[in-house]
Amino acid sequence: MFLQLSPDRFAEIGHLTGTDSDGDGRGVSVADVTGDLQPDLVVRQAGGGALMVFANRFPEASRLVVSLRGTRSNTLGLGASLIAETESLPPILRQIFPSHNFAASQPALTSFGLGSSSRVERLTIRWPSGEVQVLENVPTGLHIRVTEGVEKYEVLVDARKPDDGQTTPVARSGR
């Protein structure tokens, strides 16, 4: 487990987090096991050992998770580029390329860690078909699904706290 200290400096902190297992871990996947939109680690042991889940206990940060549904592009939007823009951070680029490794794979979605931002002012999606889609003023604390060519997004998970001044719907479509 590495903790980023600066853009080019990391500290190995496995001994502090409990992720320095003596097991024969071969496959690692990042997933939101706890439902709080914070990435957790799932480790698959070689030879049928225990499946280990390491829940993220770092301080919560503002986050937006995005899944895509292609209509003209491929169904999962593989190859799409997404750029999130907020007031306080430089633009963040993500691409939908789920990875696969020995005994594990990643889902076809992307997550933006947004510090203390309460919304993404502009989310630009460049689909493999060439279509460009822009969503504005998207609240953080959500996992949304964007369908290619559809102006509104669908909320899959709403992890906002009731005291953040925003309503907390279970699921809705909106912009």
The pLDDT, as a whole number, for residue 33 is 83
Task: Provide block-wise average pLDDT over 10 residues at a time, the chain (175 residues).
Answer: 88 84 76 83 76 81 93 94 95 87 76 92 97 96 95 92 50 36
Residue pLDDT, tens place only, 21-56: 777 777 777 888 888 888 888 888 777 677 788 888
Q: What's 63-174's CATH class?
A: mainly beta
How far is CA 142 from each of CA 4, 44, 61, rounded to the nearest angstrom?
A: 25, 28, 12
Look at the pTM and tell me if it is higher than 0.85: no
The pLDDT, as a whole number, for residue 57 is 80
Listed by start position, the domains of the chain span: 2-54, 63-174
